[in-house]
């Protein structure tokens, strides 16, 4: 169908021209003057196009007056100046073709406001609401901006596997992938252990929790790379910041240290904020008006801001000196909780903070060990409201140190033979990070719950659609 997108019409209206648009009716009201006003939305932008349908249309009585919210139509007509005060122009319909009626008593998205919780139960329709349409467009813009940022810097886009045999984070939060019959698992007659040699891959396999280890192998051949793909974590945390399936962007830079890594992370974040401010103005206005009154202001101030950089030890000192009682007490050696991250960003620094040099016990084995023997070259970037948005590190490039650390945590370096090989054959310093894409969408939209910034959220007990 040759149609004009409503965003085009609204952006550069060619008054007097004959156009065809298609979309879903948001509202329709009859006027006493013998016509109907239809608010039409086609998803190409936040705004609607007002269609004015004259009672003289041949299908006016039989069809047009039966157009309730959610109905789909194709309208051909002339773009004319509007008499109404609310819009400068409208489409005077010469022809309204109904594609699909929508029964108002059955349609879940009527005129009344519906809670985000309820909308999750009708997630197949929620993209038709203002909020979810706007989220989808901002998400799209952030994805495009991500590719633009890295491609402009000559990073190579790498596809890493979704099914893997290595547990990158060592946190045991993996979804297993198997074709073994779950009601009759083959077991070794002596040990009674499950015999994974009979499984599809001949060994135990899982969904990836991170593409990092595989990403490193390509960075150690091709230089700077990034991945952008789905990630799976079976963490049973019902928070507003965790999903079981989420998307992660993981750049890895060769010949780079932790300071380079922090520079890249901060530049990337500022780029995303600027991009959204520039390209999603209409959607942002909606979020700012209706979801979170601070979101535009926050993005604007962060787009040009310097991020504070502090060490983990300094962070602990600040938290201890804060005089606040936290649910989780702060002790050197324990991980920073969401409440601590929020105190640092929202109350103490009133802005984003990059924290470096975490205790090695609470971080993954591959992070580069610092000379103090206690800490590693790790960094987390913290934002107000969402807390940790990025986790990264310089990687341990010294073979002996890496193998020793793998043994220390009770693993066998042989299981990571290919990862260790990178350190055996022409090792180079390298660093990278992972950014949780949904947390970024959350931050840029002000949406409270992470389940409302991904089309079909997967979380404990929830895998509908
Ligand atoms: P958190 O402490 O918030 O659970 P993490 O330390 O487990 O995060 P990393 O392993 O460093 O996170 O992963 C990198 C990034 O991926 C995080 O900074 C965060 O933005 C995002 N992330 C991690 N877990 C989840 C999840 N379950 N759902 C959505 N995003 C996540
Ligand atoms: Mn986690």
Under 8 Å between Cβ of 420 and 212 = no
Ligand 2 center from residue 221 Cα (angstroms): 29
pLDDT digits (tens, 9 = 90+) for 338-374: 999 999 999 999 999 999 999 999 999 999 999 999 9
Ligand 1 center from residue 169 Cα (angstroms): 11
Structure tokens at 275: 């991009």
**Strand, helix or coil at 147?**
helix
Q: Which residues contact 325 (CB under 8 A, 6 or more apart)?
A: none
The DSSP line for 168-182 is SS-S--PPEE--S-T
Ligand 2 center from residue 240 Cα (angstroms): 12
Q: Which residues contact 235 (CB under 8 A, 6 or more apart)?
A: 171, 173, 242, 244
Ligand 2 center from residue 391 Cα (angstroms): 10
Q: What is the pLDDT of residue 84?
A: 84
Most confident of 85-89, 234-238, 256-260, 321-325: 256-260
Under 8 Å between Cβ of 319 and 326 = yes
Q: What is the pLDDT of residue 85?
A: 83
pLDDT digits (tens, 9 = 90+) for 132-149: 999 999 999 999 999 999
Please enumerate, as own/partner, the contacts of 343-346 that have beta carbons within 8 Å and a separation of 24 or more: 343/319, 344/315, 344/318, 344/319, 344/382, 345/382, 345/383, 345/384, 345/385, 345/387, 346/384, 346/385
Structure tokens at 280: 């999603």
Residue 391 φ/ψ region, left for φ over 0, alpha for ψ in the -120 to 50 degree band, beta for the rest: beta
Q: Radius of gyration over alpha carbons of the chain, in Å?
A: 27
Q: Which residues contact 43 (CB under 8 A, 6 or more apart)?
A: 23, 127, 128, 133
3-state helix, strand, coil in the chain (%, to 5): 35, 25, 40
Q: How many CB atoms lie within 10 A of CB 212?
A: 25
Q: What is the pLDDT of residue 111?
A: 67
**Strand, helix or coil at 402?**
helix
Angle, in degrees to the nearest 10, between helices 437-445 and 130-152: 120
Under 8 Å between Cβ of 445 and 287 = yes
Q: Which residues contact 173 (CB under 8 A, 6 or more apart)?
A: 209, 233, 234, 235
pLDDT at 169 over 80: no
Ligand 2 center from residue 440 Cα (angstroms): 15
SS (H, E, C) 319-365: HHHCCCCCCCCCCCCCCCCHHHHHHHHHHHCCCCEEEEEEEHHHCCC
Q: Of the bound ligands, which one is closest to the alpha carbon of residue 244?
A: 1
Q: What is the pLDDT of residue 167?
A: 61
Under 8 Å between Cβ of 329 and 347 = no
Q: What is the mean pLDDT of the chain?
A: 95
Which amino acid residue places its CA nearest to atom 28 of ligand 1?
A: 242
Q: Of the bound ligands, which one is closest to the alpha carbon of residue 378?
A: 1
Ligand 1 center from residue 124 Cα (angstroms): 27
The DSSP line for 26-87 is EEEEEETTTEEEEEEE-SSSS--EEEEEETTSTTTTTTGGG--TT-EEEEEEEEEE-SSSS-
The whole-number average pLDDT for the span 422-442 is: 98
**Strand, helix or coil at 204?**
coil
Cα–Cα distance between 234 and 463 in angstroms, integer?
A: 13
Q: Which of 207, 245, 389, 434 to mutate to test the pocket of ligand 1 (most atoms within 8 A of CB)?
A: 434
Q: What is the pLDDT of residue 171?
A: 60
- The share of the chain scoring above pLDDT 70, in percent, equals 98
pLDDT digits (tens, 9 = 90+) for 383-396: 999 999 999 999 99
Q: Assign 170 a pLDDT band (cuts: 50, 70, 90).
A: low
pLDDT at 254 over 80: yes
Ligand 2 center from residue 54 Cα (angstroms): 58
Q: Which of 167, 236, 391 to mutate to test the pocket of ligand 1 (most atoms within 8 A of CB)?
A: 391
Please report the atom of ligand 1 found closest to the CA of residue 364: 10
For residue 131, the surrounding DSSP H or E stretch is helix 130-152
CA 181 from chain centre, in angstroms, equals 35
For residue 381, the surrounding DSSP H or E stretch is strand 375-383
Please report the atom of ligand 1 found closest to the CA of residue 450: 29
Q: What is the pLDDT of residue 86?
A: 85
Q: What is the pLDDT of residue 168?
A: 58
pLDDT digits (tens, 9 = 90+) for 21-76: 999 999 999 988 899 999 999 999 999 999 999 999 999 999 999 999 999 999 99
Ligand 2 center from residue 242 Cα (angstroms): 8
Could you say which DSSP state residue 367 is in?
B
Q: Assign 173 a pLDDT band (cuts: 50, 70, 90).
A: confident
Ligand 1 binding pocket, CB closer than 6 Å: 169, 233, 235, 242-243, 246, 248, 388-391, 434-436, 438-439
Please report the atom of ligand 1 found closest to the CA of residue 381: 18
Q: What is the pLDDT of residue 83?
A: 86
Q: What is the pLDDT of residue 172?
A: 67
Cα–Cα distance between 88 and 81 in angstroms, integer?
A: 6
């Amino acid at each position: 169908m040759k149609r004009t997108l409503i965003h085009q019409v609204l952006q550069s209206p060619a008054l007097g021209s004959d156009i065809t648009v298609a979309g879903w009716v948001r509202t329709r009201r009859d006027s006493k003057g013998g016509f109907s006003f239809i608010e039409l939305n086609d998803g190409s932008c936040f705004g609607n196009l007002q269609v004015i349908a004259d009672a003289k249309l041949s299908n006016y009585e039989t069809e047009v007056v039966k157009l309730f919210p959610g109905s789909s139509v194709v309208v051909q007509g002339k773009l004319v100046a509007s008499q109404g005060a609310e819009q400068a122009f409208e489409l005077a319909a010469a022809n309204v073709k109904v594609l699909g009626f929508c029964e108002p008593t059955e349609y879940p998205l009527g005129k009344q406001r519906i809670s985000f919780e309820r909308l999750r139960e009708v997630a197949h329709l929620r993209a038709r609401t203002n909020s979810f349409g706007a989220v989808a467009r901002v998400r799209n813009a952030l994805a495009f901006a991500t590719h633009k940022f890295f491609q402009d810097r000559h990073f190579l886009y790498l596809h890493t596997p979704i099914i893997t045999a290595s547990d990158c984070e060592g946190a045991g939060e993996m979804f297993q992938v198997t074709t073994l019959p779950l009601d009759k698992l083959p077991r070794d007659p002596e040990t009674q252990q499950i015999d994974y040699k009979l499984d599809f891959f001949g060994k135990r396999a899982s969904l990836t929790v991170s593409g990092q280890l595989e990403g490193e192998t390509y960075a150690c051949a091709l230089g700077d790379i990034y991945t952008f793909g789905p990630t799976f974590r079976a963490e049973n945390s019902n928070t507003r910041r965790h999903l079981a399936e989420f998307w992660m962007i993981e750049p890895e830079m060769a010949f780079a240290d932790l300071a380079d890594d922090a520079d890249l992370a901060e530049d990337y974040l500022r780029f995303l904020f600027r991009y959204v401010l520039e390209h999603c103005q209409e959607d942002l206005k909606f979020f700012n008006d209706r979801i979170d009154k601070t979101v535009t202001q926050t993005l604007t101030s962060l787009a040009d801001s310097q991020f504070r950089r502090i060490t983990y030890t300094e962070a602990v000192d600040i938290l201890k000196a804060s005089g606040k009682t936290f649910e989780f007490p702060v002790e050197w050696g324990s991980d920073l909780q969401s409440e601590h991250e929020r105190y640092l960003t929202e109350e103490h620094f009133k802005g984003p903070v990059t924290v470096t040099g975490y205790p090695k016990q609470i971080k993954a084995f591959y992070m580069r060990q610092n000379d103090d023997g206690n800490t590693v070259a790790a960094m987390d970037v913290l934002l107000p409201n969402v807390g940790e948005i990025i986790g990264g590190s310089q990687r341990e490039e010294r073979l002996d140190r890496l193998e020793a650390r793998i043994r220390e945590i009770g693993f066998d370096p042989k299981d990571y033979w290919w990862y260790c090989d990178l350190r055996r054959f022409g090792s180079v310093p390298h660093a990278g990070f992972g950014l949780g894409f949904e947390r970024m969408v959350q931050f840029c939209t002000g949406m409270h719950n992470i389940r409302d910034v991904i089309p079909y959220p997967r979380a404990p007990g929830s895998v509908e659609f």
